[in-house]
Structure 1
């Protein structure tokens, strides 16, 4: 069984009555519940736990790490970031959610600022499935709506995705690359845009389907294991 660790700052829910009303047990708990219902072995970790809940043993036992962060990116210890990045390069999957685009692991792995335009006005978002044959799009319609969302708009300062699965359109007119796939080393990374803390987006069935599909896609598989060591020649050398 695939083991997932859902990481969350867990600050907004403690400091804002508005957010606590939407996610009384934390965003991580809602995401974890949806993934457990999909059949995964799911644990959670939060910023204020020792080692941010991401000890070496936890990371070693994690097949896919889901990361939600927003207001405390700078508080994540660089030593933990180093371990997360290395685990991804060694094969652990990483799902970067919503404002996690500014997280230290994601910006480190992308090598860019990961900046974007934004507007928090609770507008409608239409998510288009632009790569319907991709495994993360399995079971999803050509498009679906998030009734109320924070707007993210282009230019999104990321490397060109290896594969673009979803594209968002917003009521105010902007568009955004909202479902982006990458490979770094042996690890697969999926960035998924929806998930603002004041709206119950992670309770939406289509969103839960995307996350479950993304776990399947990002989980370590039986792919190639290239050899980067010093090697003997295949042919005789004079």
Structure 2
């Protein structure tokens, strides 16, 4: 547990655009009757127990559920979006990105690769190949010592899932954790980690709305590991260009010696 949580539970917010569910999509509601956000939150709660306080937010909430005060208190934000990326307020996106730079963790799920916060943080199109034929996906661990891979089987077997394939237009990851292969022969960098400012960002692709992927115990393990990895490791603070007088560090050092 990060020392920045001061022996309190991690504050985790699971954000979902909640459009398929609110439209009454029967296939989605069959797998996620309380919404994708609730399924992800339930998995985190089951895995993390009293070490985490998990709440949810959706596009339809006021301020998309991501007001300044809430983000300031959030250790890790999970983000799932698909068909309503353009409906997310730019002011909220600015707020999310600013908090990531200041140290908040961000875990982006599935088609959230096209979300405004993720594309802003990556600085690329984040485009990819896709095909939705309900094929088998194997999620291979390529960094077995990474904390997000702890206790994860090699490979995770997902019986039916949407295919995501290369080329995936993302910057070179700081760490590649998972690589997926599909029945059609495609490969995809399905679990990649970045550091942006003081914040940690993890993208994990399995989780199309038409399949019950977020009920899969191995997927839940990955997400709970990601929450712990993305937790801030230092005090939250904004990064700015601050003027400093000459030899300021000598005065600071002298002050510390006199304490």
Among 131, 146, 169, which residue is 1:134 paired with? 146
User: Which ranges in structure 1 are unaligned for 5 or more consecutive residues?
Assistant: none
Structure 1: distance between partners of 2:240 and 2:33:
48
Aligned residues of 1:14 and 1:20 also touching (Cα < 8 A): no
Q: Does 1:146 align with 2:154?
A: no
Aligned residues of 2:14 and 2:37 also touching (Cα < 8 A): yes
Structure 1: distance between partners of 2:17 and 2:207:
14
Structure 1: distance between partners of 2:20 and 2:54:
22
Can you list the C-alpha shifts for 1:145-184, whole angstroms capped at 9, x where unaligned?
1110000000000001000000000001100000000011
3-state SS of paired residue (1:31)? helix
3-state SS of paired residue (1:232)? coil
Give matches, 1:32-111, under 5 Å: 32-37=41-46, 38-39=48-49, 40-111=52-123
Aligned residues of 1:125 and 1:148 also touching (Cα < 8 A): yes
| 1:65 Cα deviation from its structure 2 partner | 0.3
3-state SS of paired residue (2:96)? helix
Aligned residues of 1:115 and 1:157 also touching (Cα < 8 A): yes
Structure 2: distance between partners of 1:36 and 1:124:
27
3-state SS of paired residue (1:151)? strand
TM-score w.r.t. length of structure 2:
0.88
3-state SS of paired residue (1:194)? coil
Superposed CA RMSD in Å reads 1.7
User: Which ranges in structure 2 are unaligned for 5 or more consecutive residues?
Assistant: 1-8, 251-259
Aligned residues of 1:128 and 1:142 also touching (Cα < 8 A): yes
| 1:58 Cα deviation from its structure 2 partner | 1.1
Among 19, 37, 40, which residue is 1:11 paired with? 19
Which residue does the alignment assign to 1:231?
Answer: 244
For the structure 1 residues 82 and 227, does the alpha-carbon distance in structure 2 shift closer, same or farther, using more than 3 Å as the test? Answer: closer
3-state SS of paired residue (1:147)? strand
Structure 1: distance between partners of 2:241 and 2:172:
26
For the structure 1 residues 185 and 23, does the alpha-carbon distance in structure 2 shift closer, same or farther, using more than 3 Å as the test? Answer: same
User: Between Structure 1 and Structure 2, which shows a larger proportion of helix residues?
Assistant: 2
| 1:14 Cα deviation from its structure 2 partner | 2.5
Q: Does 1:175 align with 2:184?
A: no
Structure 1: distance between partners of 2:240 and 2:114:
33
Which residue does the alignment assign to 1:26?
Answer: 35
TM-score w.r.t. length of structure 1:
0.95
3-state SS of paired residue (1:48)? coil
Aligned positions, number: 236
Aligned residues of 2:103 and 2:234 also touching (Cα < 8 A): no
Give matches, 1:174-193, under 5 Å: 174-193=186-205
Structure 2: distance between partners of 1:217 and 1:27:
22
